[in-house]
Amino acid sequence: MEFADPDEVNPNDIDDVEPDQEDPAAAVDDPSGAVDDRDLDADEAEEANDFDDEDDEDDRDEQPAPDNASAELEELVKFIASRLVHEADEIEVESEFRGGTVYISLRVPESEMGRVIGREGRTAKAIRTLVSIAGSRYNVHARLDIDG
C-alpha cells in the first residue's frame, strides 16, 4: 500500500466511512476494560447491569462477631495440631479474648513438639500465619503460643 504525500492529499478525495462500518480511528483501547453501555444492545446491557456491586457490599457487612472468634480460632488450632501429632487426645488448646486480641495457647506433649514446630520453626510459623489470617476475618488480632 502506498501512502500519499500529505501536501498532495485533497480532502475531497478521501472516501467516507459507511455508517454501518466501524471507524478504526475512533476505536480507542480502554485500559480499564470497562464496557460502555452505548456499545451494547438491549440484552447485553441488561446482562451487564445484573452484575451489581450492591450484593458484594452486603457480604462485607455480614462479618462474624468477635465474641465467637475465640472459640472458632481455638477449634482451628486444635484441628491443625491434631493432624500433626500422633497423640491427638493429649493436645490442650485454650483461648482468651483481651482488648481486641485473641490469645491462644497450644500445649502438646514434649515428644511431639518437633512435629508442631517443624524444621527451623516453619510449621509453627505457618500455623501462626493461618491463625492470624483467620483472626482478621473476625476483625481481631490473634496470637498463638506453643508450649511443651
pLDDT, tens digit, for every residue of 36-80? 555 556 666 566 555 554 555 545 455 556 668 899 999 999 999
**What CA–CA distance (Å, rounded) separates 94 from 117?**
18
What CATH code would you report for 66-147?
3.30.300.20
Provide the grid cell at 26: 475512533
Q: Report the mean per-residue pLDDT for the chain.
A: 77
pTM here is 0.56
DSSP run (H or E) holding 141? strand 141-147
**Positions of CATH 3.30.300.20 in the chain:** 66-147
DSSP run (H or E) holding 147? strand 141-147
Q: What is the pLDDT of residue 25?
A: 55
Whether 96 and 106 have beta carbons less than 8 Å apart is answered as no
Residue 95 contacts by C-beta under 8 Å, 6 or more apart in sequence?
70, 71, 73, 74, 102, 103, 104, 105
